[in-house]
A and B are shown apart, each in its own frame.
Chain A
């Protein structure tokens, strides 16, 4: 992106026509800190893609690089084939920052008209769009209210509205549900979830709330120390983790776990604090027999036995633990 401004009109074809975001060795260095480290990733059009990582992983820096707010130190990135930072790339993007700031004395409606106008809309079109967005985000009652008096949640919704002002094809959201109450959070998530199908919008979203992401995203990238740790479909990741992992919920769980530890087909047995036994085995048939024998021997009553149901949170925890162990 070093030649970002000069190459504003340059269009470079990315690897595939359906690729919305592509980065190649994207790097951002602040003094001795490498915030984003040779990052390569791709997001396909029509996807909702999640960005997950601990604080300081480089998520917000990556988003700012993609929207052209900051310049990369090395590497390159493309938005629908346009060099990141170029006006063409920004025409595709709508961005809502982590901590949105506004002109405090402006009304919500004036602000949206201003942001739509900046994006190239004519005044009449910008005004119609402002009405539409305020309605979409349930802010119509506050259209003439000064933003300075808005609650944090209302500001967050207004920030998403300004990101949508010019009907972008890609919505980049940094912690969009922070500060929202549970109702507002669910409402926004549902609206975002419907965007790819209803408005052909691709969404890249960064969030710490993994349960929300699990509900929302199709694919996810785990980031740590500026690098991609894992990038795949959510179901693929969960499926890979589910493989060979089983749970046994029964009475007398301590004795049962102990009995299973010596069995040949069982690789690992872990007793959770909730009394659930987590078992790793590559032979489901043998495991069923072993569990049956152990249950009879211990005189336990089985409540549930089956494949482990993995949450995105589990995938994240395990992936990050593996990364740290490396």
Chain B
């Protein structure tokens, strides 16, 4: 019964107008700056309506994956969740809390529930505002604007996965470690590791051939993140098949497509054509998107188990 009060208090803390406004501004800043480039491309291209929709929608999805539901969301969720236990513990407010007749498990789950609600709300605000801003910045036709708006629920659904992944990992760290500085360093490492795994291993010299031969994709978290985004890509386009070639950045980060090496990008480069020099053509399908989603659910489950267990065994002073 008391869990409702945990959710209420956490939501009040997370949704203060000043804080929300600041986060919305940061969340919008990067996409709006990037969209300045799209505006010049659109102006120069004189695209048909279909092509304009492809162009805007694919860019909207890309910036959503990389920033709005990507780095930005991961950092916001992680920094919030990282303080849930450790900050209350160091402030001394956790002590009276854990002596009340509410299980520690419910306290943690209540905080996580509030985190999810807050993050999805924040995402929804940013995505809708971004769509509106782009509508005027890019002088979008109405069908294009409707297509962009239609993609938002699917992006929010994917965001839920991102929130749960980074929220549960950070909560577990918060229950395990007292020092908030250490938690923040670890959280940053986790976020960079997840998003940059593919880039890191390829930069370290791993060729695409070895990547596939030794099934490195099994542990490539950036690949699984991208692969979990594939259903969103399919559904968000409202039945239209967006050309894979439009997702060069997504390919560089996640490697979810296969394709030919891009001769223009490869000019002057001697080493093997790693995935960020490939022009994406069709899905690599190393594993199905469902498997990647299951892997993420397993990560969420394991993190929650560690976090709840650590919280239940924690000595609170």
Instruction: Report A's interface with B, CB cutoff 8 A.
Output: 5, 8, 64, 67-71, 87-88, 90-91, 93, 95, 97, 99-103, 114-115, 117-120, 122, 159, 162-163, 166
Q: Return A254 CB to nearest CB of chain B, in Å.
A: 53
Q: Return B18 CB to nearest CB of chain A, in Å.
A: 12
Query: Which of B28-36, B87-95, B114-122, B290-298 forms part of the interface with chain A?
Result: B87-95
Cα A105 to Cα B246 with chains together (Å): 49
- The answer to whether B93 and A101 have CB atoms under 8 Å apart is yes
Cα A319 to Cα B297 with chains together (Å): 61
- The answer to whether B101 and A87 have CB atoms under 8 Å apart is yes
Instruction: Report B's interface with A, CB cutoff 8 A.
Output: 1-2, 4-6, 8-9, 91-93, 95-104, 312-313, 315-317
Cα A260 to Cα B163 with chains together (Å): 85
Besides A101-B91, A114-B8, 11 other A-B contacts (C-beta < 8 A): A5-B104, A69-B317, A71-B315, A87-B102, A87-B103, A91-B101, A95-B99, A100-B92, A120-B1, A166-B100, A166-B101
Q: Which residues in A have their C-beta under 8 angstroms from that of B315?
A: 69-71
A-B complex: 4 closest residue pairs judged by Cβ atoms: A101-B92, A117-B5, A91-B101, A70-B315
Q: Which residues in B have their C-beta under 8 angstroms from that of A101?
A: 91-93, 95-96
Q: Which residues in A have their C-beta under 8 angstroms from that of B100?
A: 90, 115, 118-119, 166
Q: Which residues in A have their C-beta under 8 angstroms from that of B317?
A: 64, 69-70
Question: Given A99-B92, A103-B93, A118-B5: A69 and B101 within 8 A (CB)?
Answer: no
A-B pairs with beta carbons under 8 A, tally: 75
- The answer to whether B102 and A120 have CB atoms under 8 Å apart is yes
Cα A61 to Cα B28 with chains together (Å): 50
- The answer to whether B5 and A95 have CB atoms under 8 Å apart is no
Cα A118 to Cα B110 with chains together (Å): 11
Q: Return A89 CB to nearest CB of chain B, in Å.
A: 9
- The answer to whether B101 and A119 have CB atoms under 8 Å apart is yes
- The answer to whether A69 and B1 have CB atoms under 8 Å apart is no
Which of A5, A70, A159 is within 8 Å of B312, CB to CB? Answer: A5
- The answer to whether B99 and A115 have CB atoms under 8 Å apart is no
Which of A8, A93, A102, A103 is within 8 Å of B99, CB to CB? Answer: A93
- The answer to whether B101 and A115 have CB atoms under 8 Å apart is no
Q: Which residues in B have their C-beta under 8 angstroms from that of A159?
A: 96
Q: Which residues in A have their C-beta under 8 angstroms from that of B4?
A: 117
Q: Return B13 CB to nearest CB of chain A, in Å.
A: 8
A-B contact pairs, 24 of them (CB 8 A): A5-B313, A8-B103, A64-B316, A67-B99, A68-B98, A69-B98, A71-B313, A87-B101, A87-B103, A90-B99, A95-B96, A97-B92, A97-B96, A101-B91, A101-B96, A103-B93, A114-B9, A118-B5, A118-B6, A118-B97, A118-B100, A119-B101, A119-B102, A120-B102
Question: Given A64-B317, A69-B317, A70-B317: A120 and B101 within 8 A (CB)?
Answer: yes
- The answer to whether A117 and B95 have CB atoms under 8 Å apart is no
Cα A70 to Cα B5 with chains together (Å): 23
Residue with the highest number of chain B CB atoms closer than 10 Å, among A8, A99, A120 = A120
Cα A91 to Cα B316 with chains together (Å): 18
Q: Return B11 CB to nearest CB of chain A, in Å.
A: 12
Complex: chain A residue closest to B103, CB-CB: A87
